[in-house]
Amino acid sequence: MQFQPILEEIVETVRPLLGAQGHVANYIPALARVPAAQFGSALRTCDGQEAQAGDSGTRFSIQSISKLFALTLGMGALGDALWDRIGREPSGNPFNSLVQLEAEQGTPRNPFINAGAIAVTDRLVSQGDAKAALLELLSSLCNEPVHFDEEVAASEAATGFRNMALGNFMKSFGKIDNDVAAVLDAYFHHCAVGMSCLQLARATGYLCRDGRHPFSGEQLLTERQTRRINSLMLTCGTYDAAGEFAFRIGLPCKSGVGGGIVAVVPDRLSLCVWSPALDATGNSLLGMHALELFTTRTGLSVF
């Protein structure tokens, strides 16, 4: 299949809608300044074919897409022990909600909501330098250096009251081992990584290759672990819109409030779309629309 014309066609379809609906994330001041009228997409197939269209080379804040890579590091380092303190059920609540944590004694529903990612990050902090580990993984996966946007990290740290509450609340249940401030510093930096659609399409390549590194072929995770990540993306990767994503798009996806969404077609390709304006669930409106156009046009689906 020739993907380049398909991605170009999608850009043409969404272009008239740019900036018309939704809002950029405004609870993180550095993200509130990002111009909404941008759209990019890129993909990389398992045999190395690449396609990209629109603002595919523009770096944006990956935000919660980083939860995918933090989980990858955690599963690689800890194996099944990672699941002692983290569930695998959709939350049915906003990504920064506190309510379930109390009823469930400080055990987050899944690793893709904020509480879950903070719990994963705590385990990574216990292993060593969690910030450096994530940059090293991402730079290796997309085959070029990846950096934190320090302005975004500082902006999150200055306004991340809910995340501080989540961290401290879990700590009160004895579910966080390290100093909460150190864990949040790593978590905020993970969210503040800047990457482009093309870099993310490359970096997620191990998820469509049964855990093999997209360039070196090295086994990063086992096939079984990789399937589990894909299943979590499908059920929990887009928060309480996961049902809608499965219904309309039919692929494992992970979104972030920077407006990026990555998606995986197992054994075929990984792709990334980006447009900063979000819907009420914190998912990119045009990103979701573009993914629906892509799966409709190509017939690709996990179902």
Contacts with ligand GLN: how many residues (CB under 6 A)?
11
Query: From the centroid of its chain, how far is CA 86?
Result: 17
For residues 138, 28, 17, 7, the Cα torsion angle rounded to the nearest 10 degrees is: 0
Min dist. Cβ of residue 260 to ligand GLN (A)? 9
Produce one character per residue of 46-58: b if its CB has 16 or more CB atoms within 10 Å, e if not: beeeebbbbbbeb
Min dist. Cβ of residue 92 to ligand GLN (A)? 15
User: Taking CB under 6 A as the rule, does residue 114 contact ligand GLN?
Assistant: yes
Min dist. Cβ of residue 190 to ligand GLN (A)? 8
Q: Which two tokens stand for residue 56?
A: 């595919």
Residue at token pair 């993970």: 190
User: Taking CB under 6 A as the rule, does residue 156 contact ligand GLN?
Assistant: yes
Question: Does residue 27 have an active-site annotation?
Answer: no
Euclidean distance between CA atoms 302 and 290, whole angstroms = 17
User: Taking CB under 6 A as the rule, does residue 63 contact ligand GLN?
Assistant: yes
What SS3 class is residue 261? strand
Min dist. Cβ of residue 64 to ligand GLN (A)? 3
All residues at 6 or more sequence positions from 292 whose CB lies less than 8 Å from its CB, including other chains = 248, 249
Query: From the centroid of its chain, how far is CA 65?
Result: 1
User: Taking CB under 6 A as the rule, does residue 134 contact ligand GLN?
Assistant: no
Nearer residue to ligand GLN within complex by CB, 64 or 72? 64
User: Taking CB under 6 A as the rule, does residue 97 contact ligand GLN?
Assistant: no
User: Taking CB under 6 A as the rule, does residue 155 contact ligand GLN?
Assistant: no
Nearer residue to ligand GLN within complex by CB, 56 or 163? 163
Identify residues 4-33 at the interface with ligand GLN (CB under 6 A).
none
- Per CB under 6 A, residues contacting ligand GLN are 63-64, 95-96, 114, 156, 163, 191, 256-257, 282
